A and B are shown apart, each in its own frame.
Chain A
Amino acid sequence: MSEAAVSSGALAPDISSDIRAARSHLARRFLKNTLGIAALAVLVLIVLAAIFAPLLTSYDPNAVSVLNILQGPGAGHLLGTDGAGRDVWARLLFGARFTLAGALLATVVAAVLGITSGLIAGYYGKWFEAASSWVTTLLMALPGIVVLLAARAVLGPSLWSVMIIFGVLLAPAFYRLVYAAVSGVRNELFVDAARVSGVSDFRIIARHILTVVRAPIILQASIVFGIAIAVQVGLDFLGFGDQTIPTWGNILNDGFTNLYRDPQLVIWPGLAIVITGVALTLFANALRDELEHSAHPGRRRRTTAATVAAVTAAAEPVAPVSDTIVHDEPDTATEAPLLHIEGLAVGYPQPDGSVTRVVDDVSLNIRRGEVHGLIGESGSGKTQTAWSVLRLLPSGGEILEGSIRFDGEDLSKVPSAKMQDIRGGRIAYIPQEPMSNLDPSFTIGSQLTEPMRIKLGVSKAEARARALKLLGQVGIPNPERTFASYPHELSGGMAQRVLIAGAVSCEPDLVIADEPTTALDVTIQAEILDLLRDLQQELGVTILIVTHNFGVVADLCDQVSVMQKGRIVETGPARSLFANPQHPYTRSLFDAILDESPARGPYAEVLPR
């Protein structure tokens, strides 16, 4: 054995034990899924009943008795007899054998064909990949039942041949699954490593690739198995099956023929089919849930719990109460502030009843026409504060205490219809990440004109003219073309200009900009800041800018508030705060600016934690 092979030998068990651990984890969690376990138990019971059919009934499922036609349940026959005097219970039990075995045959054929071709196509690619994807498309364009009817015409009514053909038709279900998984793994580093170190392809596939798709294959198999039962029962029910064997479809067919004479006869095979189908579906659903759960931890309750998790993970618990350092302002308020936040607290109620506070006792004053910077590191609560003003907190978040007075009105109390009027019209928003903040399905023009038509009540033509003018104003070289474009056709910088145009389109009094330059290239950042400054001077709009970058503050802001752990620690005019930062956190933020201080502090300062 070469050295490389040895080292890969050392590497491979590591990985597969990882996968095995993940898998046993999956199996263990599945065992805790009550519904999934119940479904599995029902399936096992049905299979056992089929296997031990001769022990559960003393009747021959095919014994015709003219004297005992259509006897109701009881009297020696547990579920009565059918139109030919055969015992229904016995036929159901023996029928399970044929029906389940037939469906199993179809599933095995589909799985063997699909998995093998998927592995070959995914792993080796080349012509086989092209050919098999063609065959897949072809098979998927064929209506199964019609093909099976034709096959029956040629081959005669045989359960097994019909199920084999159906298995071939269903092979794409496995092919697509395995192909996608394998072509995804094919170029993974650990597969490359194994290949380079001389591990045979067969072993790579068995060890590294099959383990990845094992659980999805089981899931797919249970779905395919259910479909096979449905189709087989359907054909038998129509009378196209082999009438000499008891299958659930044949029993149903007999019941349907005697529907008027003995209506309960359709119930038993119907129940058997429904129970099996529901159990298979529940089993598959439970498996899928657990699979998704293990693939994306914490995804299942993402709407509320995970946002909270994300928020609380980022936001450290609110800092202990300490007074905000206020820099004296030379010209103390002559007029009432446009936005006056007083004692604001924002929290996310947890499932256990407690509330995680991410913003606490925040007070802010923003006067008309000023640019106010809200600065702090990620998770300090600055974005949560901004969203509170818009009343657009993520689901689960709520304003716990305090007031947000905007032009004399408390935004934390106005009804949501009124808030909808204020949003866009009087308070506008510029988001952080331009590309994800435009609806991908609508043109820029449509997204710009929709709010204007609502807020300003202008005609379509006028909205269009205004939008084109705005696009020119925010520095878009060809407004007509951008107007007709979709978001994916724009660069990040262009998209941010469009979002800025959208924010100022309805002549708001206050614009809240949430890190408007963070997601952009450095050169574009400067341009966007210039644009914001120009617009501010041109329109006289008030801006609350959320940022973690003192460069932005220095560039734009009149006033600054520094936020840490959900509280405002220092606030005042930008000039004074820059000249004389007092709070240690403010100072540490200044230290973090690369070009004005050594890139890193002395090593010793970091060590003792």
Chain B
Amino acid sequence: MLTFTVRRLLYGIVLLFVIVTLAYLLLYAAAGNVGRTILGPTATQATVALKNQQLGLNSPLISRYFSWLGHALTGNFGSSWFTNQPVTTAIITRLQVTLILVLGAVIVSAVASAALGVWAALRGGWVDRVIQVFSVLGFAIPGFLIALFLVRIFALGLHWFKPTGYVPITYYFGGWIRTVTLPIIALSIGLVAGVAQQVRSSVIDSLRQDWVRTLRSRGISERSVLFKHVLRNAGGPALSVLALSFVGLLGGAVIIEQIFGIPGLGQVAVLATSQGDVPLVMGLVVAIGVLVIVVNLVVDLLQGFLNPKARMS
């Protein structure tokens, strides 16, 4: 199990290295005249040249890359070209917000899809059909449309929640709830649709297994058969679907944050890419890469917990 984990971790790090290198080379190769971009069309040639020199853009790309990589390994990703704020600070404060949204969505979806999937599998009939229809809608309608719909009804109509803005949880819990609930729901719905389907079919599959009859023959209660044994066996495939959706969830958060005016990674991403703030974009690439690796690792460990056979491979 340990060697398996270490191997996956190393694989992830190599993957991250490749992504970061490609991103660096491509972004700088395409960046054009950076000094001009920053200073605007009215600046003189001389000030533009000076700016480029200050940013160290006159040395060759490869040597700049290695110098950046060296600093990056110590946690220094440089400063934003436009605000001069250190990239690390800019990203870490925003990362917390996005993580709350994304993890919230993962937890909400995991619970909701387990409940809906099991319900559909057990009850069948109209419950199953309603959940199927919900799945189709949840899968087919983009999250941000659902977000618009939610804002219209629950924020602008009923005033239960705030349409925009973000209150940190440490500042005021009630305010936090009123700002994060709708974004988390909007992010979750598409995910629930997919994962609930998976839970449903794995539960139906597991219930058909021979060992279910044997467990019942031992006088194990229906509840234990279902929630202890069947659900654990059905959990693996559902977890895979959830994990595969995580990267998509990060992308979805970009749009959702934009709609709800939430200061997360998505806002940084939008700002940095539209301005062409390459150091900040590189910081984002690293942050997201690390996030994806960590999530994959956690999922692998969970899979090992759920499925003893996975521990061996």
Contacts and interface: CB of A to CB of B under 8 A. Distances in A.
B229 A441 contact: yes
A438 B212 CA distance: 8
Interface in A198-257: 226, 230-231, 233-234, 237-238, 240, 256
Contacts, number: 177
A240 B309 CA distance: 46
Contacts of A293: none
B251 A423 contact: no
Given A238-B258, A266-B148, A437-B211, A274 B216 contact: no
B142 A141 contact: no
Interface string A490-512: 00000000010010001000000
A506 B219 CA distance: 10
Nearest to B246: A143
A119 to B, nearest CB: 23
Among the interface residues B221, B288, B308, which one has the most CB atoms of the partner chain A within 10 A? B308
Contacts of B213: 387, 392, 429, 431, 437
Given A141-B292, A150-B281, A441-B307, A285 B136 contact: yes
A488 B18 CA distance: 38
Contacts of A425: 219
Interface in A136-183: 137-138, 140-146, 149-150, 152-155
Q: Is the interface of B mostly helix, strand, loop or mixed?
A: helix
A455 B217 contact: no
A436 B219 contact: no
A439 interface: yes
Interface residues of A, number: 68
Interface stretch (A67-75, A276-284, A360-368): A276-284
B19 interface: yes
Contact of B137 (A278, A420, A499): A278
B41 interface: no
Contacts of B220: 424, 450-451, 454
Interface string B302-313: 000011110000
B1 interface: no
A422 B216 CA distance: 11
B309 A440 contact: yes
B35 interface: no
B248 interface: yes
A477 B293 CA distance: 43
B142 A150 contact: no
Contacts of A342: none
Interface in A278-337: 278, 280-282, 285, 302-303
Contact of B289 (A141, A256, A281): A141
Contacts of B307: 440-441
Interface string B242-264: 00100110111011001000000
B140 A277 contact: yes
B210 A431 contact: yes
Contacts of B229: 439, 441-442
Nearest to B275: A153
Contacts of B232: 441-442
A144 B308 contact: no
Interface in B3-47: 15, 18-19, 23, 26-27, 30-31
B274 A273 contact: no
Contacts of B218: 423-424, 428-429, 450-451, 502, 506
B54 interface: no
Given A145-B254, A281-B140, A438-B214, A138 B145 contact: no
Nearest to B190: A230
A259 B30 CA distance: 37
A416 to B, nearest CB: 8
B150 to A, nearest CB: 13
B250 A146 contact: yes
A470 interface: no
B19 A439 contact: no
B278 to A, nearest CB: 9
B30 A154 contact: yes
Interface in B276-291: 276, 281, 284-285, 288-289
19 contacts: A138-B18, A140-B244, A144-B251, A145-B255, A152-B273, A154-B26, A238-B270, A280-B140, A281-B139, A282-B136, A390-B217, A423-B217, A429-B217, A437-B210, A439-B233, A440-B307, A442-B232, A454-B221, A506-B218
Given A146-B250, A506-B219, 18 more contacts: A140-B247, A141-B15, A153-B281, A238-B270, A256-B148, A270-B148, A273-B141, A273-B145, A277-B140, A277-B142, A285-B136, A392-B217, A429-B214, A436-B209, A440-B307, A441-B229, A441-B233, A443-B308
Closest 6 CB pairs of A and B: A424-B219, A277-B140, A429-B217, A145-B251, A149-B273, A424-B218
